[in-house]
Structure 1
Amino acid sequence: MADDDEDDRLLAKDALEECRLANDLHFVVDGEDLMDYLYHRGKYAQLIKSPRPSLILLDLNMPKKDGREALQEIKGNPELRPIPVIVLTTSKAEEDIYRTYDLGANSYIAKPVTFESLVSVMKTLGKYWFEIVELPLNEAG
């Protein structure tokens, strides 16, 4: 999950734990940090500590490199492109919705305002992405 807001990260972690989906959750704080994680640079150089994600939850409005720029880079890289990217952001702007889908986002979700709603969204995401759809195996199998 890439999100610069610590409270949002904690709420997402709690919601995922409540759904029993937080087995291997990794957080990054901005788009640059996300790309370092995906390319195994800097503090993420050890593959064991930064495994390839099965899914990326991406906030749009982050410092350094925002979610739109990170999404464009991910979907422009043949090795990273297969990773599903779910935009989870406060923005409900139609322009953001159209642009992120145009850049290759797999889903766009406005962050729910209540914890109960967030739990419901996380349950639905988990069921859809990890039980219903067939995803390609990553290099770790």
Structure 2
Amino acid sequence: MTIGVLAQKAGVNVETVRYYQRKGLLPEPPRPPGGVRYYGTEVIDRIRFIKRAQYLGFTLREVGELLAFGSGSCKDVEGLAAAKLSEVEARISDLQAIRQELERLLEQCRGGELTTEWDLIRVVIGQETGSDAGEG
């Protein structure tokens, strides 16, 4: 199939295919005398793998490492996956803290505790509102 058909079947645009080729993530088939390169159907799965790995949080460099492990040890993949899992868990923790702060802000808004700009600023930066709001 041509690069256009490949891109369409893989759900990406042609420039994405070319970019992945420049990054060494996809093979570039030889250009025959007619000038049109043809790709095998296995390249569709490789592109889908790249996109899915990116969705899971892997960078393109890490995707390249994963693809290089194809003939290597599962221990190598395990190490990279464990590191990515640690990053995801840290992000989840950060998001939970953000959620708590936003819930606190909403609670104070709904409770009528935010009456001035200073009240809002103090809540967002983590200080309590009170009688000294706006001072300093």
Q: Given the two structures, how large is their TM-score scaled by the length of structure 2?
A: 0.28
Q: Which has the larger radius of gyration?
A: 2
Per chain length, whose mean CA-contact separation is higher, i.e. which structure has more relative contact order (CA < 8 Å, sep 6+)?
Answer: 1
Structure number having the greater helix percentage: 2
The two structures have a TM-score, normalised by structure 1, of: 0.28
